[in-house]
Amino acid sequence: MTLASWLDESKTFSVDAKTARHTPFFEPIVNTFNSGGYNPHVSYHFNPRVSAYHYGPRHPMKPFRLMLTDHLVSAYGLHQQMDLYETKKATQEELLNFHSEDYIEFLKRITPENCSKFADDLRKFNIGDDCPVFDGMYDYCQYYAGASLDASRKLIAGMSDIAINWSGGLHHAKKYEPSGFCYVNDIVMAILNLLRVHPRVLYIDIDIHHGDGVQEAFYLTDRVMTVSFHKYNGEFFPGTGNYDEVGVGKGKHFALNVPLQDGIDDDSYVRLFKAVIEPVITKFRPTAIIQQCGADSLGGDRLGCFNLNIKAHGECVKYVKSFGIPMLCVGGGGYTPRNVSRLWCYETSVLTNVELNSRLPDTLPFRSWFEPDYSLHPNLGDRYENKNSKKYLDNLLVQLMENLRYLDQAPSVQMQEIPPDLQNITDDEESRIVEKLKQESKIDKYRDEERYYINKMDDCKRGELLD
Ligand SMILES: [Zn+2]
């Protein structure tokens, strides 16, 4: 045997089937430069039922993307890195902490069968093409909101440093009506919950659409700062989010908007994101952060028009995490399901400090949907012309820094009462809830046989997922 052939054989030997089976799909990156030595306790909040709802055959929002995400997270073994909670539905009382009673009653009653009887209400509550009535709509809302509320409670109780709910992030919903595929606003409800304990909460939104529902809910307060990066030209949905929307009254300067044009690339986005978020965090000094990780800002999204790759989107999440502030990460938009699931799986790995092999695990259910590359990081970055000139971005940054200058006398926000109309629970009740949560042991319901490896097709058709 020649040396060369021996080397070849040894190479073959090192990647035989058995070795490949036992090679972990991730490497811990704890205490490396990238993680900054911060090793947070992470929890994952999900109820698989939320992924079974269906907005309708031609509707771009596919809750099924949440199951794909969960399959990826599990196949990579990331669930071993987190506390897993199968979340409960939010109660009607919890939804009423933000939403109006007549709107929630309407959501509860309306079904595809009886909607002809509710013609006036359909108009009143702006139900239509974007926000259709579908089977189990109210239950769906309760599931995704329940998961964000559960995540916020684990942060409050100190049981998690980072809590993840990919089914949440429905940032457009308003107090009295649905908007942009969002029926109830889980983010607002989670922030209201955090405000019971946290003096200042920062909301960061990197969905391609303006986080209007969250901004509007906290436009008048200095206890919540909202920062949204999004496409803006006055027409793109929801039509708001120019840099001059900065808050009103006590909330003036506590809303920050970063309007972007089509085709922004990885480098400019990440550079701008860090240049804005660093002073926001150091000046506002949040005690808790909610980051909305909408995946429609990725390149190749069915409704989006940016050029971001998964690693650049994840870099924003990694950067916010590096400040070591308790954080709730939620999903949001994202209309190319295979890329949504790749992104949120990758971001789960970023939050749990592990590095994933970019080749998708062989054991992944529905693996064929990731063809032809079977990679966690397909190239998504070259579809659109970048209309954000250097001059545009430089001027924008100057304007944003000017807006932030007013935060120099950082909010002396003390623990205040939550405005009465936002409060539905007494301090005593709250401390009882927190105490009860602290006593709960870590729930480890997720025995393997209960994992939702559903190997049969969802009623969501394969073609829809791929288009
Ligand atoms: Zn969006």
Is residue 386 domain-shared with residue 460, that is, in the same domain? Answer: no
Is residue 82 domain-shared with residue 215, that is, in the same domain? Answer: yes
Domain that holds residue 185: 37-423
Peptide bond into 238 cis (omega under 30): yes
189 within a domain of the structure (yes/no)? yes
Nearest to 135 by CA among 57, 53, 199: 53
Is residue 328 domain-shared with residue 455, that is, in the same domain? Answer: no
Is residue 433 domain-shared with residue 336, that is, in the same domain? Answer: no
Q: What is the 205 CA–ligand 1 centroid distance (Å)?
A: 10
Split the chain (467 residues) into runs of 10 and give each run's mean pLDDT: 42 48 53 60 97 92 96 96 96 97 94 86 83 92 98 96 98 95 97 95 98 96 97 95 95 97 97 97 96 97 96 98 97 97 98 96 91 95 94 97 84 49 52 54 33 31 36
User: How many helical (H) and strand (E) elements, i.e. helices and strands, does the chain have?
Assistant: 15, 10
> Contact 458/52 with Cβ under 8 angstroms?
yes
Reported as type and span, the H/E element at residue 429 is: helix 427-439
Phi–psi pair at 39, nearest 5 degrees: -120, 80
19 within a domain of the structure (yes/no)? no
| Separation of first and last alpha carbons in the chain | 52
Annotated binding site for a divalent metal cation: 207, 209, 296
Cβ count near 159 (within 10 Å): 17
Q: What is the 401 CA–ligand 1 centroid distance (Å)?
A: 25
What distance in Å separates the CA atoms of residue 442 and residue 76, rounded to the nearest whole number? Answer: 22
What distance in Å separates the CA atoms of residue 400 and residue 227, rounded to the nearest whole number? Answer: 11
431 within a domain of the structure (yes/no)? yes
> Contact 40/351 with Cβ under 8 angstroms?
yes
pLDDT at position 345 is: 98
- Structurally, how many domains does the chain consist of? 2
Angle between helix 337-351 and 310-321 (nearest 10): 30
> 360: exposed, middle or buried (C-beta count within 10 Å: 0-12, 13-18, 19+)?
buried
pLDDT at position 38 is: 83
From the list 79, 172, 198, 230, the catalytic residue is: 172
Is residue 149 domain-shared with residue 292, that is, in the same domain? Answer: yes
Annotated binding site for substrate: 130, 180, 335
Strands 162-165, 83-86: pairing kind:
unpaired
Is residue 238 domain-shared with residue 170, that is, in the same domain? Answer: yes
| Residue whose tokens read 């990647």 | 15
> What is the dihedral sign for C-alpha 437, 196, 94, 245?
negative
Is residue 281 domain-shared with residue 389, that is, in the same domain? Answer: yes
24 within a domain of the structure (yes/no)? no
Is residue 129 domain-shared with residue 216, that is, in the same domain? Answer: yes
- Three-state secondary structure call for residue 72: helix
pLDDT at position 153 is: 97
Annotated binding site: 130, 180, 207, 209, 296, 335
Strands 26-28, 354-356: pairing kind:
antiparallel
443 within a domain of the structure (yes/no)? yes
Q: Rg (Cα) of the chain, in Å, rounded?
A: 22
Is residue 130 domain-shared with residue 108, that is, in the same domain? Answer: yes
Q: Is 172 a catalytic residue?
A: yes
pLDDT at position 431 is: 63
Is residue 381 domain-shared with residue 448, that is, in the same domain? Answer: no
What distance in Å separates the CA atoms of residue 137 and residue 144, rounded to the nearest whole number? Answer: 11
pLDDT at position 442 is: 36
Is residue 348 domain-shared with residue 218, that is, in the same domain? Answer: yes
| Residue whose tokens read 């590096």 | 322
- The four Cα atoms 305, 310, 313, 318 give a dihedral, to 10 degrees, of 180
8 within a domain of the structure (yes/no)? no
20 within a domain of the structure (yes/no)? no
pLDDT at position 3 is: 44
Domain of residue 339, CATH code: 3.40.800.20
What distance in Å separates the CA atoms of residue 324 and residue 327, rounded to the nearest whole number? Answer: 8
> Contact 67/339 with Cβ under 8 angstroms?
no
89 within a domain of the structure (yes/no)? yes
What distance in Å separates the CA atoms of residue 90 and residue 50, rounded to the nearest whole number? Answer: 12
Q: What is the 333 CA–ligand 1 centroid distance (Å)?
A: 4
Is residue 391 domain-shared with residue 442, that is, in the same domain? Answer: no
What distance in Å separates the CA atoms of residue 9 and residue 3, rounded to the nearest whole number? Answer: 10
Q: What is the 296 CA–ligand 1 centroid distance (Å)?
A: 5
Q: What is the 122 CA–ligand 1 centroid distance (Å)?
A: 23
